[in-house]
Chains A and B, each alone.
Chain A
C-alpha cells in the first residue's frame, strides 16, 4: 500500500501556484498601456495582439512581454492620438496621408513618390494623356556634392503643345525656383552640420546663423509642393528658374499653366510607302489603338518609323488597367518582333528575369527606324532597345533620358497614391537602361525642320 497522501499539501501548492500566476499576470498587465474600454479589456488586448497575421510576415519584435506585431503599435498610437491629443483629430484621411507619405519617403528612393489626393488625381489623369500644369513629366533626381545629397526636380519629357514646350523647356532641365521661391534641394541637417563645423563663431553669431537657416528652409518650397504646383491646375502664371547643362547661368522662363491633351498614338503614311507611327506614352488606350492599327497595317510598306520622342514611358498597375503601360508595350513588341525574350527586367536587385512577349502568328517584319531623344524614358527606352536588339530596327536621334525604371502606380482608400520603383530595366544583352540608349545614328534637332525624321526616311528609302 502506498502511504495515503494528506490533502493539504497539494491544495496548498495549488493555492500558491494560483497566487504566483495571478501576480505574474498582474505584473505583466501593469506594464502595458491599457485601452480604456469598459467591459472586457483583456479580451480586447488579446485580440489586438493577435491581429499580427494581417500584415502577413514573421518579423515581430521579441520582448520580455512577448512578440508584438508592428500593426498593433500603429493601431495603439492612432488610438491614443484620437483619444488623448489636446486638440480633436477627426480628419483621419490626413493622419493616414501623413503616415503613408513618411513611410514611402523612408524608402529613400528618388523615384518613389507619395502622391497626396490632388496630386494623385492629376497624375492618374496625366497617365491617361490628360495633363495639367506645365505639361511636362518630371522626375526627382539625385546628386552628391561635398557630402551633401541634393535632390533636383528634373524635366523628363516636354509634351508637344504644352506650356513647357512653348516656354522652351528641355528634357534634363533642373527647376530650382518657382516665382523666386527656392525649391528645397537638400536636408536642413546639411546646413546645420556646416554651421557646426565653423569653429570661429561665438554663441550669438551661431544662434543668428541658425535662425537664418531656419528662415531659408521655412521660406523654401518643399519638393512635394513644388511638384503639385507644376503638375496641377490651369491658368496660373509662374516664373521658373531653370538650370541647364552647358549653360552657366540659371535661365528664367515665364509660362501659364494649361491643360495639354495627348493623343496617345498617331499614324500616317509618308511618301506613299513609309509608315510613321508616333507613340506619346504607354497606357491602355495606346494599346488598343496600336493593336488595331498594326493588325490592319499594310504589310507591303517599305518601312516603318516609330517615333518615341518625348515619350516618358508608362507605369505598371495592379488594379487600374487604364493606366497600365506594360501590357500595351508587350502587345506592340509582339507584333513587331519575333517574340520571346526581348529585354531583361529586374524586380529585385541582382535578379534579372527575361521580359517575354508572346509569339504571334504573323509579326510585321518591316525595316524599322526608331526615333528617340532626351525625353524618351522608362518603358519607351525598353521598347526602343527591344526593337533594335530583336527586330533589327535602327535608332536615330539623341541619347535617351536614361531612366531605366519601371514605376508601379497604386491608389489607396483615402484617395492618395504612390508611384514607386518596382523594377529596373535592361537590354537583352544586360546593358543598364539607366545609362540611356546611344542612337545608331545621332541626329540633333534643328529648329523648324525635323532633321531626325528626314534622316529616318532617308535610311528607309535606300
Chain B
C-alpha cells in the first residue's frame, strides 16, 4: 500500500511538468510546421496586392529625406533604440508612447525609399483597408465625410440600411445613440456607428433646418464596385463602370455583363476612370473576361509579367473559363486616375487589340505592392515587384532627381485622346461627359458599319 501510494504521488508529481513539456513541444512543432508545410490559406492572406489608393503621398511633397553620412557604418536598430531612450530620458514633453514613436520611425524609414506606394498602416488603417479589399463591412452602409467641423453623410450605399432608412447626402450627423458627436473626427464617428449586424443605432441628423432621428438596424453591407446601365438603348450600347478591383469585383462585373447581354447589348463601354486599382489576381480575372485566349499567338496569353526585386520574372496568363465578351465591340474609358490594376486590364485589351482605348493618359504605376501584416496588427505595404503589360513596355512614370513626377511620362496613351470639358460635374452628368460621348460615337459608328456587313439577310 505505502509503496503504491508513494509511486502514485511520484507519478502525479512527474505528470504535470511532463504533460506541460509535451504540450509545449507539440505547440512549438505546430508553430514551426508552417515553415516546412505552409498553411495555404495563411499564404493567401499575404497575397500580393496592387495599390488601391492615390493619396496625399502622391503629391510628393512630404519626402524630405535628409542626406546620409556614408562614412559611418550604421545600425538603424541601434540608432532607433538610442533615440527612443533619449526621448524618454531627456525630452521635456510627455505623453509620447514608444509605440507611436516607433510607427513614426517606420514611416520615416520608408520615406527614404522615395517610393510613393510604400507605406505603413497602423492597426486601425489596416483593418479598414482589409474591409475595403474584401468589399464588405458591418454597419449601416453610408460613406461619411468631414466638412469644417461637421461630419456629413457623403453617400448612402445602394440597398444599404442607410439608404432604406432614408439618409441622404449632406445630412449632418449630430448624435449617435443620444450622444453628441461635436468635436469628433470622421473616424471616431464611424467607429461609433459601426457594429454587429442586427444591432440598432440611433442617429440624430440635421437636414437643412430640420432635426431628424433615425433608428437603423446594422447589417453586412456589400459595397458596390460596379455601376452599369444600357447607356444607349437605341444602339444597344451597354456601360459598365468598375470602381475598384476587390474580392467583389468579378462577381458584380460578370452579373452586370450577363444582364446587359440578356438585354441585347451589341457594344460595351468599360469605364475604368478614377479606378485606382486593387488586387492583382482580380485584374487578371477581369482581363480574362474581355480578352479571349490565343488571340495573338506571340503574346502567349500573357496578361502581365512580374519582375521581383531579385530579378526573377514570372508571368500571369489569361483564363479561358472567364471569357464573356463574345467579341462585342469594346471601348475602355481611362484617365489619369486609372492606375495599377486598371492599367493592367487596359494594356491587355490594347495589346491584344480587342478594344479601343478612349480618354487620357493613365496614371503610370507599374509596381506591385505586397502587404505584410505585422505582429501587432499593423501592416507594411511594400513595393516588391515591377510589372509589364503583355508587350513588355514599361508603363512607370519617370521622376526627376527630387522624386517628383515628370508630366507626360509613363501610363498608357489612349487610342483616342479626349479631355474632359470644363463644367463637367462628374459621372452623373452624362451629357457633358466628353469622354463618354466619344466612346458612344465610336461604338455607334462601329455598329452601323459592321451591322450591315455581319447581320445575315433574313434575320431582320
Name A's B-contacting residues (CB within 8 A): 14, 17-19, 21-34, 41-42, 49, 54-57, 59-61, 63, 65, 68, 70-78, 80-81, 84-89, 91-107, 109, 112, 114, 116-119, 188-189, 192, 196-197, 202-205, 213-214, 217-218, 220, 222, 224-225, 318, 346-349, 408, 410, 412-416, 418, 420-424
Cα–Cα distance between A61 and B133 once the two chains are bound (Å): 25
Q: Which of chain B's residues have a CB closer than 8 A to the CB of A188?
A: 56, 59, 61-62
Question: Once bound together, how far apart are the Cα atoms of A416 and B46, in whole Å?
Answer: 36
Contact among A33, A75, A85, A424 for B92, CB-based, below 8 A: A424
Q: Given the complex, which residues of A lie within 8 Å of B69, measured CB to CB?
A: 93, 116-118, 414-416
Q: Are B93 and A28 in contact (CB under 8 A)?
A: no
| Interface stretch of the complex, out of B33-41, B196-204, B248-256 | B33-41
- Closest Cβ of chain B to A105, distance in Å, is 8
B106 at the interface (CB under 8 A from A): yes
Q: Specify which of B34, B402, B423 is in contact with A29 (CB 8 Å cutoff).
A: B34
Decide: A97 near B66, CB < 8 A? Known: A18-B26, A42-B32, A203-B420: yes
What's the minimum C-beta distance from A335 to chain B, rounded to whole angstroms? 28
A30 to B86, CA, bound (A): 36
A-B CB contact pairs (8 Å), 27 listed: A17-B22, A21-B24, A25-B29, A27-B30, A33-B374, A71-B102, A74-B102, A74-B106, A80-B372, A80-B382, A81-B110, A84-B382, A96-B75, A99-B83, A99-B105, A99-B109, A100-B80, A103-B83, A106-B104, A189-B56, A202-B423, A410-B86, A413-B79, A414-B76, A416-B79, A422-B90, A422-B91
> With a CB–CB cut-off of 8 A, which chain A residues contact B86?
408, 410, 418, 420
Q: How far is the CA of A41 from the CA of B34 in the complex (A)?
A: 10
* B109 engages A98 (CB within 8 Å): yes
Which 5 A-B pairs have CB atoms at the shortest separation, nearest pair first? Answer: A102-B108, A25-B30, A117-B69, A116-B66, A415-B69
Contact (A98, B385) CB under 8 Å given A26-B30, A68-B376, A203-B420: no
Once A25-B31, A97-B66, A418-B83 are accepted as A-B contacts, the answer to whether A76 and B374 lie under 8 Å apart by CB is: yes
B414-436 vs A, CB cutoff 8 Å, 1 = contact: the mask equals 00000010111110000000000
- What chain A residues lie within 8 Å of B110 (beta carbons)? 77, 81, 98
Contact A86-B383, Cβ < 8 Å, known A33-B373, A57-B88, A81-B110 = yes
Q: Is residue B207 within 8 Å, beta carbon to beta carbon, of the partner chain? A: no
- A-B contact count, CB below 8 Å? 339
B234 on the A face (CB < 8 A): no
Residue of B nearest to A405 (CB): B92
CA distance A42 to B27 in the complex (A): 11
Contact status B22-A104, CB under 8 Å? no
A414–B34 Cα distance when bound, in Å, is: 37
Chain A residues whose C-beta falls within 8 Å of the C-beta of B24 in the assembled complex: 21
| B16 part of interface (Cβ distance < 8 Å) | no
Residue in chain B with minimal CB distance to A76: B374
In the assembled complex, which residues on chain A have CB atoms less than 8 Å from the CB atom of B72?
A: 93, 117, 413-415
Instruction: Assess whether B67 is in contact with A116, with CB atoms less than 8 Å apart.
Output: yes
Residue B107 at the chain A interface, CB threshold 8 Å: yes
If the complex has contacts A29-B30, A33-B46, are A204 and B420 also in contact, measured as CB distance less than 8 A? yes
Q: Which residues of chain B from 259 to 280 have a CB within 8 Å of any chain A CB?
A: none
Q: Which residues of A contact B88 (CB under 8 A)?
A: 56-57
Main secondary structure of the interface of A (DSSP, over half): helix
How far, in whole Å, are A159 and B372 apart by their CA atoms in the complex?
52
User: With A93-B74, A424-B92 known to touch, is A101 a contact of B374 (CB < 8 Å)?
Assistant: no
Taken together as a complex, chains A and B put the C-alpha atoms of A33 and B370 apart, in Å, by: 12
Known contacts A101-B108, A224-B64, A418-B83, A21 near B92 by CB under 8 Å: no
**A414–B100 CA distance with the chains assembled, in angstroms:** 22
Q: Which residue of A lies closest to B372 (CB)?
A: A33
Neighbouring A residues of B70 by C-beta, 8 Å: 91, 93
A292 to chain B, nearest CB (A): 31
Does B164 make an interface contact (CB < 8 A)? no
**Interface residue? B97 (CB, 8 A):** yes
Question: Are A224 and B68 interface neighbours, CB within 8 A?
Answer: no
Residues of B within 8 A of A21 (CB): 23-24, 26-27, 30
B2 at the interface (CB under 8 A from A): no
In the complex, what's the smallest C-beta–C-beta distance from A431 to chain B, in angstroms?
Answer: 18
Minimum CB distance partner of A422 in chain B:
B90
Is B317 in contact with chain A by the CB < 8 A criterion? no
Is B68 within 8 A of A93, CB to CB? yes
Q: Are B98's CB and A413's CB within 8 A?
A: no
Cα-based distance from A213 to B61 in the complex (angstroms): 10
